[in-house]
Amino acid sequence: MTTVLVAAPNAVSRAGLAALLGADATLRVVVAATDLSMAEQIETVQPDVLLVDLGPEPGADGLQDPAVAALPAIVLLTDDARRVLHPDTLRAGGRAVLPRHATAEEIIAAIESAASGLVVIHPDSLEALEPALFAGERSGTAIAQQTLTPRETEVLGMIADGLGNKIIAARLGISTHTVKFHIASIFAKLNAGSRTEAVTIGIRQGLLMI
């Protein structure tokens, strides 16, 4: 079970997020208290994921708190992804950025993926990455090819065996949402546009045995 500590700028937002997540039996949801510091609550709850609603006008300063930075994963909800999509967020533990209007299904999928070590960017937030990408091109910075994690390699092998998402999820004991994020990460890392292409590249790179 994944323990999630929910933090938001007001009680209504905290209660709303708790209600959205409460229906998922795989999550233990703890709502942050206003009379305790975040560091104290992190120490007490020992959450796997910190879900933070940054509010309509976010500031990422709270991510610099050493106690927060020590967390395995932080999922951020924001109306302005440009203000949090930068290297400091990742260094502080940020693993997922979603719009505040994200659905319960999207938030839960992001929590599961972040807890598994994946970095999740909602499609609505992708355009916030463009300036950084263009800056890298202008400076001539080369982006190193990313290697697959052991779990991604395992998923790629199951794709090669012709298994669908539901069967992969059942065999690995994870949700189909998490499987989809694994596959999306595999495609991105291998620069593949389909399952067949991912498998072909995997074989060529020695990731799969034939």
pTM above 0.85, yes or no: no
Structure confidence at residue 99 (pLDDT): 87
19-33 mean pLDDT: 89
| Topology, domain 150-204 | Arc Repressor Mutant, subunit A (1.10.10)
- Under the banding of pLDDT at 50, 70 and 90, the label for residue 129 is low
Longest dimension (CA), the chain: 59
User: Which amino acid is residue 154, in one-letter code?
Assistant: E
Residue ranges, CATH 3.40.50.2300, the chain: 2-135
Residues of the chain above pLDDT 90, percent: 17
Q: How far apart are CA 156 and CA 154, in angstroms?
A: 5
Is 7 in a helix, a strand, or coil?
strand
**162 Rama class: left (phi>0) / alpha (psi -120 to 50) / beta:** left
C-alpha distances (whole Å) from 194 to each of 81, 119, 148, 197 are 28, 20, 16, 5
Structure confidence at residue 92 (pLDDT): 63
| Topology, domain 2-135 | Rossmann fold (3.40.50)
Cβ within 8 Å of residue 28, ≥6 positions away: 1, 2, 3, 4
Q: Give tens-digit pLDDT for 168-208.
A: 999 999 888 888 888 888 888 888 888 898 999 888 888 88
The residue among 131, 127, 111, 118 whose CA lies nearest residue 186 is 118
Look up residue 66 and give its two tokens.
């050493």
What Rg, from alpha-carbon coordinates, does the chain have? 18
Q: Give tens-digit pLDDT for 68-114.
A: 445 558 888 888 877 766 666 666 667 888 888 888 888 998 898 88
108-126 mean pLDDT: 79
Backbone angles phi, psi at 151, to 5 degrees: -65, -40
What is the CB-side half-sphere exposure of residue 149 using CA atoms within 13 A? Answer: 14
Q: Is 185 within 8 Å of 156 (Cβ atoms)?
A: no
DSSP 197: H
Residue ranges, CATH 1.10.10.10, the chain: 150-204
How much is the mean pLDDT over the chain? Answer: 78
Q: Is 43 within 8 Å of 12 (Cβ atoms)?
A: no
